Amino acid sequence: METEIQALEQLRGVLEESGFRHALDLAIEAMARTEGRVIVSGMGKSGHIGRKIAATLRSTGTPALFLHPGEASHGDLGLITEQDVVFAITWSGETSELNDIFHYCNRFGVTLIVATAWPDSTAAKAANICLELPLVREACPNDLAPTSSTTLQLVLGDVLAVALIEARGFTSSDFRVFHPGGKLGAQLLTVDQIMGTDSAIPKVRREATLSGATIEMSRKRYGATAVVDDGDRLVGVFTDGDLRRCIAVHDLQDRIGLHMSPNPVTVPPGTLCADALRIMNENAVSVIFVEDNSRLVGVVHMHDIVRTGIV
């Protein structure tokens, strides 16, 4: 670990050098402005890192794929178009399996970015943009097995991905589009994606009776009903807890406005479900209403959010 930490310190030092920063800026610009995709390639352990980099780029808004050098030499060079940018990873810069990709890029004018630790290597000389990584000691006791070197490659890939997030203005909403599944997808859900709408919303007018509000609340599944004015603006809420407190001592023909709780807890449609759950907990409520331009448009129960897998 200490050896790899030292390697990362060396990379940080290189990142502060004007030459590397200039090359990095050019690489980011080339990837950001491409009308095609970022084609990532590498052999062996560098190839495994390349697959991860391509996956990270795809998930953060940059179209990318991994091209295996061996498959490229046997027909898959056709994946590369003149609109693409190729990003080749080779620590030594002398990975012969990449040569056909280099020749193809040169022949068809495809921008080639290379990450290598050897600036005088074949790969570096073939590149339009060379990202010269610091030459570091491997964590392997024989200084042979790719360990520190692949760590640097991985971090460089993250640097590029994060810079492209900023360059493209990629937002959490965009991120949600590419991550609909799993807990991560659940954390990016918004209330408008799970809320009850239209006839599913329990609601009565302010003039409704206690009896009418109770019937509406019982017909729906939220354990509460919204109280709205003639413009469908939320003015209060009546819950099953309110009902228990007043049913024994009040007339069922009383107006609901006398018994509702004013100032119900609300959120706008784009609120993350995780934030809505936090607001519910902070206000000790199990139901939250969704308002858009002061109009009631939805309702969410705490159980709806829990079922998404956030918790």
- 3-class secondary structure per residue, the chain: CHHHHHHHHHHHHHHCCHHHHHHHHHHHHHHHHCCCCEEEEECCHHHHHHHHHHHHHHHCCCCEEECCHHHHCCCHHHHCCCCCEEEEECCCCCCHHHHHHHHHHHHHCCEEEEEECCCCCHHHHHCCEEEECCCCCCCCCCCCCCCHHHHHHHHHHHHHHHHHHHHHCCCHHHHHHHCCCHHHHHHCCEHHHCCECHHHCCEEECCCEHHHHHHHHHHCCCCEEEEECCCCCEEEEEEHHHHHHHCCCCCCCCEHHHCCEECCCEECCCCEHHHHHHHHHHHCCCEEEEEECCEEEEEEEHHHHHHCCCC
Q: What is the mean pLDDT of residues 202-217?
A: 90
CB-hemisphere CA count at 13 Å for 228? 19
- Mean pLDDT estimate for the chain: 91
Q: What is the mean pLDDT of residues 93-100?
A: 97
pTM: 0.66
Query: What is the widest separation between alpha-carbon atoms in the chain?
Result: 91
Bridge-based pairing of strands 234-239 and 224-228 is antiparallel
Structural Rg of the chain based on CA atoms: 29
Res 186: pLDDT: 64
- What band does 175 get if pLDDT is binned at 50, 70 and 90? low
Res 94: pLDDT: 97
183 pLDDT above the threshold of 90? no
- What band does 311 get if pLDDT is binned at 50, 70 and 90? low
For the stretch 66-90, pLDDT in tens is 999 999 999 999 999 999 999 999 9
C-alpha 285/C-alpha 301 separation (Å) is 9
200 pLDDT above the threshold of 70? yes
The vertex-188 CA angle with 182 and 192, nearest 5°, equals 115
For the stretch 225-244, pLDDT in tens is 999 998 888 999 998 888 88
Res 230: pLDDT: 86
177 pLDDT above the threshold of 70? no
C-alpha 255/C-alpha 210 separation (Å) is 6
For the stretch 238-292, pLDDT in tens is 988 888 877 766 677 888 888 888 889 999 998 988 899 999 999 999 999 999 9
Res 113: pLDDT: 98
192 pLDDT above the threshold of 80? yes
C-alpha 113/C-alpha 42 separation (Å) is 12
173 pLDDT above the threshold of 70? no
Contacts of 28 (CB under 8 A, 6+ apart): 160, 163, 164, 167
Q: Are 46 and 150 in contact (CB under 8 A)?
A: yes
Res 171: pLDDT: 73
Q: Are 267 and 191 in contact (CB under 8 A)?
A: yes
Percentage of residues of the chain with pLDDT beyond 70: 94
C-alpha 4/C-alpha 203 separation (Å) is 61
Res 147: pLDDT: 96
For the stretch 112-168, pLDDT in tens is 999 999 999 999 999 999 999 999 999 999 998 999 999 999 999 999 999 999 998
Enter the tokens of residue 42. 């590498």
